[in-house]
Structure 1
């Protein structure tokens, strides 16, 4: 059975079998974000590849407000799984207008500490990380009740 609707030049068809899947995905998303929140985020990424070389991923982005403990994706997970190998060198800078947070990323043997982001200071990162299609997030931990505003970042993940 399908439910269809249309409007302003497009038609949307949703299979009834998808409804339980969408419900489960929505509940998982809510559970994942229960430890923190994020608003006003934008990211722009590009990839470059040399002849017979793995892909390098460069991203820059902003987050208006971040609270608690939450991950911010760095690029597209599928790009990391298919084209960058198991580990990458992350070279990045992070700034925030207000607040403090501890930053982490997935590493070859568990979480990698990227450093502490503080208002008015630039955090410069040069670490080996292990981004893949399941986890390509930078973890921001502002602590319970903690909040950051005006986050900006720019970085490149290059295959090793």
Structure 2
């Protein structure tokens, strides 16, 4: 939560803000035992990294690209550039006469950064939907969809609960 506060992401409706949820969850992954939590969670998403890579991963909260696009979190490992866009009560930004749709801008910017660094790119879209809704990705050109992975907050909670229960006994 401190990262969200430092970045000016808090308001009076703190309990409903996806930036606070994002900050809390991914700060946990950043500061907890990454060889257990981050490595395992990314594996659940189809991204396999070593324990060493998990420990060395770089987290960047709310980075900003040259065009003003601001994804929620970027996690970089030796081989991956993972861009996370989290939604809770809101939807992904739509295309306007002046800007491309949010996910399109994020995939294009993220792919460019990944390519510049010789890394594999993946956008991970996290929503509160209880099931995958393919129409959430309709704003993306078809050629960019393979770079995206959908998940939900429930999956994050289920994963964390499972790991903690396994550690207790």
Larger helix fraction of residues: 2
More strand by share: 1
Provide the TM-score with structure 2 as the length reference. 0.26
TM-score by length of 1: 0.27
Structure of larger gyration radius: 1
Higher relative contact order structure (alpha carbons within 8 Å, sequence separation ≥ 6):
1
